Structure 1
Amino acid sequence: MPATDGDTIRETFLRFFERNGHRRIEGASLVPVGDPTLLFVNAGMAPLKKYFSGEKVPPAPDLCDVQGCVRTKDIDDVGDRHHITYFEMLGSWSIGHYFKERAVELAYALVTGDFGLDPRRLYVSVFGGDETLGLPADEESARAWERAGVPRDHIVALPAEDNFWGPAGQSGPCGPCTEVFLDTGEEFGPAYVPGGEFDTSRRYIEIWNAGVFMQFDKGLDGVLRPLPFTSVDTGSGLERLELALNGLDSVYDTSLFAPLVRTVQDVLGESGEVLHHHRVIADHLRAAVAIMSDGVRPGNEGRGYIPRRLIRKCVTLAMGRDRERFDVAPVVDAVVRSLGPVYPHLVAEQAAVTAAIIGERDEFGDTVRRGLDRLDRVVARHGRVSGADAFHLFATYGLPVEITRDLAAARGVSLDREEFDDALRRHRELSRGTRTDRRLRVDDVLPAAVASRPATEFLGHDTLSAEGTILTLFSGGTTVDAVAAGSDADLIVDRTPFYGEGGGQIGDRGTVRAVGRDEALGEISDTVVHAGGGYLHRVSVRTGVLRVGDTVSLTVDPCSRADTAANHTATHLLNAALRAVLGPHVRQAGSLVEPRRLRFDFTHPGPPAREELAAVERLVNDWILTDAPRRVEVMAPEEAKASGAVSLEGEDYGRAVRVLSFGDFSRELCGGTHVEHTSQLGSFRIVSEQSVASGVRRIVAVTRRCAVDHSLAQAAALSEVAGALRTSPKDVVPAVRRLVETARTPKAARDTATLANTVETVVNDVPVMLAQADGAVGGLRKEARRAAGERGRVVLLWTAAEEEKKTLVVGVPESLGDRLRADALVEGAIRRLGGGGGGNARIAQGGLTTAPTTDALIEIIAEAVAERSAG
């Protein structure tokens, strides 16, 4: 096909597979849903893993889409010919339908037909087998390629590290794969000779993983087990494919990247040749925008660390080019113009993302210069950067270790990464404490007999007590048949009224008792939901023995549930009030709902004004007073969102969702527990509001009894302050203002200077004012600046008090900056009269050993003018 751009390639790919019986689906968020093994979606099939394992039924057996992906494994290679952080994956799948033969047939038809690539330039790789995995070479795929038209000497068998894919995380579907490579020409290296090395980094560029043949399910124990059915997963990086189809030297020359690179050059004022740092900044900001548009904000751990690392690398590179305040907005705009037509949520989030990146840039830029100075001192003193030094730079100045390593390398020294990792690990252990128990984690692989059981049935929306049957007991992380008094365990039952932690709401607590055996009693301190659907009740057995198979009575603590439900409803009302007061851009960025308080994180570019927070608080309380009833509807997610219900970005709500409404002011998708009427919240009070990340704010609030306690405590504090000020509570504010003004008065007095014996003259055509002064240094400096600016004269003020050293302050107006410098005049006075001091071109001061005179200062001015003229 003729030279083409990224938009055309996307459509060509999707229409080819639609023409061949595949259903086009929408790509998922970069933030994986219900998959704790992944930080970000890193492959097209990652959001579809449950289809391959048989846990979910796909909308059709054959699918295709375009999926945004983030990979950080090769982040240090970004800026070379083809490594990038965020990329678009063109993918097609056949789930339990066709397999290797048809996959190869379609791949060859697409690349040589619709994409029009010369078959003679194509090479393919297949799995060469692996003894440790106990798997033979994939001869079936090799023969399929031969039948399609690829000669045997263009088929390369590669080891598992190259041609065994997956899983996308620590566990999941995986299998051998076959990839298509394009020969980019002899200028990039020697030609492949069968049996020799196959260069996959320079001459032969992978353009498509034409078939990951899903045959196995890898468990967290590392064992490969056959999947219930075989499937095909293909993936082609859009950026690499455009490079190949257009014969470009680099992905940064494609239509997807070239405008971004040019914008970076423009912002840096560096036209001409594209340099490595232009590419890195373009890539990193592109990835940061994509990630943050899916709701992630910069932070020190987890997902948030990735955009923080990317942005800070850009800031450091820009500062290395003498750009202390690198203007990120034009680059963000270029990213949105490029990707926005395909991913419209980038357009909707542009303002918030830009503000968050600018905030991160400014926050980091304020400290990075000190960090760089510290690094220079370390290198000068030791000739290396130890791990302890690198950790200090990270902990104190926020310099990521990767940036410190790069900066150290630029200075010709090494960094001890192993020592840094040890220091970081010790820091995290101290911060988090040491776990002494072993609870079952929600992502632990369960025994087959346990994993095959149905999910726990949740009854807690309608009742606080119910009977169920103990299906499984875990103690010390392993299954047991019974747990006796004095032991802790994780308990799974077939049905429960206990809410399992989720949606920001903590899990219920209460009691469990064996029916018919009153001596068997346990306290449930928490409830969480395993990835397999079983509710894990964290139980401490107080008396008797709990056994697998027991019928048990489960009772939720009613007070704890009531307070938690009130706070969960309050988060919905708070969310609605924030959107009403601050604007529709507000989006939930996290929450915590527990009995004594609620915590709500939301996106907003800066701190809300005091009046805005008061309006939010008042609006929530107005809604509480309406006594609006709770309404619950169950519908499909698409129908719910179309009805205007607010949903949490990236959350997996399943096929049917609960839509929870209060009045006409709050409507959200939610599976949590809530009050029946808003009046059950009692009242709502905001306790604190603060920043938790760039562009993300946090409100902590209380309801019910805790709100009453908060109001009474504030009233008591106000009364105490009023008593100390000897005024009434309603007059506290003006009384405090008067007190503050009184406290400021002495400082204001110190900032003034009284002049005497003022002389105005002209020295060598320079207008000058000289005067003795009475006052502190601050007052003299303020008066010298003012007089120099207003009079257009060089001003010299000195103290007449009988002190060991006399203070001299010199001010030079901007209009005379080409004739004299303030610091030069002070240096001249010090040479003649002794002492010390300094300053800059506009204002300077010194402490003189000998008291100056008007005549002596005029001579010093004349000498300085003469020296300046001669220079």
Structure 2
Amino acid sequence: MSATDGDTIRETFLRFFERNGHRRIEGASLVPVGDPTLLFVNSGMAPLKRYFTGEKVPPAPDLCDVQGCVRTKDIDDVGDRHHITYFEMLGSWSIGHYFKERAVDLAYALLTGDFGLDPRRLYVSVFGGDEALGLPPDEESARAWERAGVPRDRIVALPAEDNFWGPAGQSGPCGPCTEVFLDTGEEFGPAYVPGGVFDTKRRYIEIWNAGVFMQFDKGLDGVLRPLPFTSVDTGSGLERMELALNGLDSVYDTSLFAPLVRTVQDVLGETGEVLHHHRVIADHLRAAVAIMSDGVRPGNEGRGYIPRRLIRKCVTLAMGRHRERLDVAPIVDTVVRSLGPTYPRMAAEQAAVTAAIAEERDEFGDTVRRGLDQLDRVVARHGRVSGTDAFHLFATYGLPVEITRDLAAARGVSLDREEFYEALRRHRELSRGTRTDRRLRVDDVLPAAVASRPATEFLGYDTLSAEATVLTLFSDGTTAEAVAAGSDADLIVDRTPFYGEGGGQVGDRGTVRVVGRDGVLGDVTETVVHASGGHLHRVSVRSGVLRVGDTVTLTVDPSSRADTAANHTATHLLNAALRTVLGPHVRQAGSLVEPRRLRFDFTHPGPPAPEELAAVERLVNEWILTDAPRRVEVMPAEEAKASGAVSLEGEDYGEAVRVLSFGDFSKELCGGTHVEHTSQLGSFRIVSEQSVAAGVRRVVAVTRRRAVDHSIEQGAALSDVAATLRTSPKDVVPAARRLVAAARTPKTARDTATLANAVETVVDDVPVMLAQAGGTVGALREQARRTAGERDRVVVLWTTSEEKNTLVVSVPASLADRLRADALVESATRRLGGGGGGNARIAQGGLTTAPTTESLIEVLHAQRPASVGETGTSK
């Protein structure tokens, strides 16, 4: 195959497998649906997990697709030859159909046939066996490769850590795998010698996992048992495949990346050689665009933390290159031009994504600047950066440790990374607290015998109490036949009135009692839905013994359910009111519905005005007073969406969906529990509204008794304030404003730099102002920056004391092509001792010898005007 681009490779791959009996399917969103084990889809197989466990029937036994994926495990390696954050996975699967030999034949035929790779450059790895697992080497795969045409000396047996996949959790499907590597040539290292080390980092690059052969089910007891059917899962990174087919040195040289890297260089004004930071910025913003096009916005936790981390690293890299502002629009545009034709949602969301990235950049820019200033102070004070310092910069200013490391190195100092990770570990332990038990997680892969059972039948729409049969008990994360009083268990039954957490609504709580055995009683503290479809009832057994096979009566706490149902209905009304008042662009971005309150996240470019929030609150209460009845219809998903029902993007509603309506003002797809009439909400009050991420707002509200309590508490507080201000409640606001205005005072001296004996002169045709100053370092920097701009001259300020001498230099924009602030500080520290750093416009340092006007003028004389491209670096 001649040199080709990514679009052609995608189509060649898919057509090959279609010719060979595979059905082409659409790739899924990057945001996993119904899979709490992942923040993002990280492999082609991830959206298809349930096909391999038998929980769902695939549309055909043999499938193929191209799936966008995000992996951050190797994020520190991004920028090398082949590590990237967002990539496209070319995947094929056979579920209960063909196995190893057919998978190998197809892989070899595609690589050496349609793709035209030289078979002499291909090496393959196979599972080398594992005594601990009780498994021999995978000779079946090795023989299949030999029959296909790969010589035995290019078939490498590797241990389980390299060539045995899974399970995804403590138990579940797993098996050996076989991978294909491309020999990239002797310039990247010595050739492999049978029996020697197989270099998979430099010379031999993996281009295809040609088969994960899922043939075992690992039980919770650690024993491997044969699966009821075997399957094949393959995956090849599109970017690496283009590298292989075109003989390129790096994935950043491919058609998928090269235009983007050039755009980054243009934005930074750094044409010529492609440097490491060009690749990292290109990769990270490409990944951020892909993630955010699927509806995720930067935030402090969960999925939102990933794009925030990516964007912030790019901002920090740019500022470390003396770019005060990274222009993201051209970079986003290049990403969309490259990937938009394949992923139309990127083009549709381009404007919103560009705005959100720019907002994150602007919000973080000032923080980064303060972080860089703090880093300069640490370097000036200690001559090194400790792990504790690095953690403080990370926790307080958001500077990633790898950025701190690079910036420290540029200043000629080291960073103690081990101490950083120890500080990070301690912080995480304190944040998590200690865990005393092991509950079954919703993502734990269950034994095949348990996972293959039908999903728990939910009866809770019609009743709060029902009899059921105990199918499975889990104690401390493993199966148990019985659980006695004083112990906790996870209980799966065949039918239940308990709602399992989902759609933002928390799970029900209540009691479980064994039928026919007085005294056997347990409290259900939480209900969640396992990935297999079984409801997990978190039970604390109060008395007696609970056994598998028992018939039990499950009773939901009616008060908790009623409050939760009211808050869920209020969430729907709030959604409709926000769309009515703010506009149809409002989209749900998350929610939490619990007995005490509701929390609703929604997309909106800025904070709603107070009068808009008041209009939303008033509208919801008007709808409550209409006493509109609940209407429920079940219909096909596409029909429901066509009818105007609001749905949550990325949610898997199944083929038949439940459509919930109140009056003509609210209509949504929803599986949760709700009140029968809107009047059962009583009243609705907004407690708070705030930003949680770029372009995402959050409303917290209450209903029923808590809404009444909130109104009474607010009224009482207003009366107290009015009494304190000696005014009436209706005049509280103007009275408070007068009090605040009276309390305002000018900034204190400690917040402003004071100048003494200022001297204005000209040094080598450069206008300069020099002055000894008093105040904090921050005040000196602000004074120097402002004065340099106002007076259009270089400003040099310094402080002296017994503890330290501080120097700050600021160069105005008009003189930036003649002098650099960091170069002047470097000259001063060479002459007077000490160290420092900064950028072309402003820099600071700590001096060993106290400076004077005369000594600093001599420094200026010695520093000839520099071109803008020169850089001063302090030792």
The aligned amino acid for 2:2 is: P
Quote the residue 1:285 is aligned against. Answer: 285
- Structure 1, unmatched stretches of 5+, are 752-776, 782-808, 828-836, 843-863
Instruction: Name the CA shift for 1:232/1:488 in 2 (closer, same or farther; >3 Å).
Output: closer
Is the alpha carbon distance of 1:839 and 1:158 closer, same or farther for their aligned partners in structure 2, counting shifts above 3 Å? closer
Aligned equivalent of 1:528: 528
Q: Does 1:393 align with 2:393?
A: yes
Deviation at 1:323, TM superposition (A): 1.0
- What does the per-residue CA deviation read over 1:214-242, in whole Å, with 9 as the maximum and x for residues that have no partner? 22234566543322212222211111111
Choose 326-335 or 619-628, whichever is displaced more. Answer: 619-628
Match status 1:180 vs 2:180: yes
Matched with 1:568 is 568
C-alpha distance in 2, partners of 1:195/1:814?
68
Structure-2 residue corresponding to 1:337: 337
TM-score, normalised via structure 2 length: 0.81
Cα deviation, 1:776-833, whole Å, max 9, x if unaligned, reads: x99x99xxxxxxxxxxxxxxxxxxxxxxxxxxx99x9999957x89999x99xxxxxx
Provide the residue aligned with 1:762 in structure 2. Answer: none
**Which amino acid in 1 is paired with 2:389?**
D
Amino acid corresponding to residue 663 of structure 2 in structure 1: G
Deviation at 1:257, TM superposition (A): 0.8
| Corresponding residue of 1:718 | 718
Which position in structure 2 is the counterpart of 1:592? 592
Letter in structure 1 aligned against 2:425: R
For residues 542 and 257 of structure 2, the distance between their equivalents in structure 1, rounded to whole angstroms, comes to 64
Deviation at 1:67, TM superposition (A): 0.5
- Give the letter for the 1:182 counterpart: L
SS at match of 2:461: coil
Counterpart position of 2:207:
207
Q: Return the structure number with greater relative CO, CA threshold 8 A, min gap 6.
A: 2
Counterpart position of 2:272: 272
Q: Quote the offset at 1:416 in angstroms.
A: 4.0
Q: CA deviation at 1:628?
A: 2.8
Aligned 1:368-517 pairs, distance under 5 A: 368-379=368-379, 381-382=381-382, 384-411=384-411, 413-444=413-444, 446=446, 450-451=450-451, 453-477=453-477, 487-517=487-517
Paired residue secondary structure (2:326): coil
Deviation per CA, 1:367-422, whole angstroms, max 9, x where unpaired?
22333343344445555544333322222222233333444444555544444334
- Partner Cα distance (1:190, 1:595) in 2: 65
Tell me if structure 2 keeps the 8 A contact 1:37–1:171.
no
**Whole-Å Cα distance in 1 between the matches of residues 41 and 811 of structure 2?**
56
Q: Compute the displacement of 1:644 (Å).
A: 3.8
Matches within 5 A, 1:119-130: 119-130=119-130
> Which position in structure 2 is the counterpart of 1:703?
703
Letter in 2 for 1:365: G
User: 1:802 — aligned with what?
Assistant: none
Q: Is the 8 A contact 1:483 1:547 kept in 2?
A: yes
- How big is the shift at 1:594? 1.0
Instruction: Call closer, same or farther: CA 1:6–1:388 in 2, change over 3 Å.
Output: same
TM-score in terms of structure 1 length: 0.81
**2:171–2:446 contact (8 Å) kept in structure 1:** no
Distance 1:138 1:380, change over 3 A: same
Deviation at 1:276, TM superposition (A): 1.1
Change (3 A) 1:497 1:216: same
Q: How much is the aligned-residue C-alpha RMSD, in angstroms?
A: 4.0
Quick check: 66-75 or 439-448, which moved more?
Answer: 439-448
CA–CA distance in structure 2, aligned partners of residues 57 and 486 of structure 1: 41
Q: Which string of whole-angstrom CA distances, capped at 9 and with x for unpartnered residues, describes residues 495-549 of structure 1?
A: 2211122222112122333335554443333222333333333334455554444
Shift of 1:326: 1.4
- Decide which moves more: 278-287 or 214-223: 214-223
Q: Which amino acid in the other structure matches residue 525 of structure 1?
A: T
Q: Work out the CA distance in 1 between the residues paired with 2:123 and 2:640.
A: 48
**What is the letter of the counterpart of residue 647 of structure 1?**
S
Q: 2: CA distance between counterparts of 1:51 and 1:397? A: 44
- Give the drift of 1:474: 4.4
Could you tell me how far 1:24 is from its partner in structure 2? 1.0
User: Which residue of structure 2 aligns with residue 143 of structure 1?
Assistant: 143
User: Identity of paired residues, percent?
Assistant: 87
**Alpha-carbon spacing, 1:446–1:730, altered in 2? closer, same or farther (3 Å):** same
Tell me how far apart the structure 2 counterparts of residues 542 and 505 of structure 1 sit (CA, whole Å): 27
Tell me, yes or no, if structure 1 residue 234 matches structure 2 residue 226.
no
Cα distance change, pair 613–520 in 1 and its aligned pair in 2 (3 A): same
Match of 1:555, SS state, is strand
> Could you tell me which amino acid in structure 1 is paired with residue 346 of structure 2?
L
Who is 1:312 aligned against?
Answer: 312
1:363 alignment partner in structure 2: 363
Residue in structure 2 matched with residue 675 of structure 1 by the alignment: 675
Which residue of 1 is the match for residue 325 of structure 2?
325
Greater alpha carbon shift after TM alignment, 137-146 vs 490-499: 137-146
Q: CA deviation at 1:347?
A: 2.8
- Residue 657 of structure 1 corresponds to which residue in structure 2? 657
**725 and 356 in structure 1: CA distance in 2 versus 1, 3 angstrom threshold:** same
Letter in structure 2 aligned against 1:628: A
Verify the 8 A CA contact 1:498 1:527 in the aligned structure 2. yes
Q: CA deviation at 1:61?
A: 0.5
* Separation (CA, whole Å) in 2 of partners of 1:237 and 1:579: 41
Aligned partner of residue 349 in structure 2, secondary structure: helix
1:293 and 1:639 map into 2 onto residues whose CA distance is 25
The match for 1:833 is: none
Provide the residue aligned with 2:75 in structure 1. Answer: 75
Contact 1:352 1:604 in 2 (8 A): no
* Residue in 2 that maps onto 1:634: 634
How far apart, in 1, do the equivalents of 2:231 and 2:790 lie? Answer: 80
What CA deviation, in whole Å up to 9, does each residue of 1:654-700 have, x standing for no partner?
Answer: 44332222234333222211112222222222110112233332110
Amino acid at match of 1:61: P
Q: How much has 1:734 moved relative to structure 2?
A: 4.1
Question: CA offsets per residue over residues 53-108 of structure 1, 9 Å max, x none?
Answer: 22221110010100111222222221122211110001111111122222222223
SS at match of 1:706: helix
Query: In the superposition, relative to structure 1, how do residues 66 and 664 fare at CA in structure 2: closer, same or farther (>3 Å)?
Result: farther
Q: 1:579 to 1:260 in 2, by over 3 A?
A: farther
Contact 2:170 2:445 in 1 (8 A): no
Distance 1:193-1:738 versus aligned 2 partners, 3 A rule: closer
Change (3 A) 1:181 1:821: closer
Q: How many angstroms does 1:716 deviate by?
A: 3.0
Supply the distance in 2 between the matched residues of 1:823 and 1:413 (Cα, whole angstroms): 25
Q: Distance in 1 between matches of 2:501 and 2:590?
A: 14
1:127-181 per-residue CA deviation (whole Å, 9 max, x = no partner) reads 3434443333333333333433444444444443443344456654333333333
Which secondary structure does the structure 2 equivalent of 1:243 belong to?
A: helix
How far has the Cα of 1:741 moved from its partner?
A: 4.9
1:701–1:440 distance in 2 versus 1, CA, 3 Å: same
2 CA distance for matches of 1:189 and 1:238? 24
Structure 2 equivalent of residue 27 of structure 1: 27
Matched with 1:87 is 87
Deviations 1:195-252 (CA, angstroms, capped at 9, x unpaired)? 5544433344332222222222345665433222122222111111112222222211
Counterpart amino acid of 2:600? Answer: F
Comparing 59-68 with 727-736, which one deviates more in the overlay?
Answer: 727-736
Tell me: CA distance 1:429–1:131, structure 2 relative to 1, closer, same or farther (3 Å): closer
| Structure 2: 5+ residue stretches without partners | 756-782, 800-806, 813-856, 866-875
Alignment of 1:59 onto 2:32: no
What SS does structure 2 have at the residue aligned with 1:713?
helix
Distance 2:790 2:636 in 1: 75
Deviation at 1:462, TM superposition (A): 0.7
Q: Which residue of 2 aligns with 1:687?
A: 687
Contact 1:38/1:168 (<8 A) preserved: no
For 2:259, what is the secondary structure of its paired residue?
A: helix
**AA partner of residue 72 (structure 1):** T
Maintained 8 Å contact 2:356/2:694:
yes
Tell me if structure 1 keeps the 8 A contact 2:55–2:532: no
Offset at residue 460 of structure 1 (A): 0.5
CA shift for structure 1 position 301 = 4.5
- The structure that has the greater radius of gyration is 1
Q: Higher mean Cα deviation, 266-275 or 715-724?
A: 715-724
User: Helix, strand or coil: the match of 1:233?
Assistant: strand
The structure-2 alpha-carbon separation of the partners of 1:618 and 1:11, relative to structure 1 and needing over 3 Å to count, comes to: farther
Counterpart secondary structure, 1:42: coil
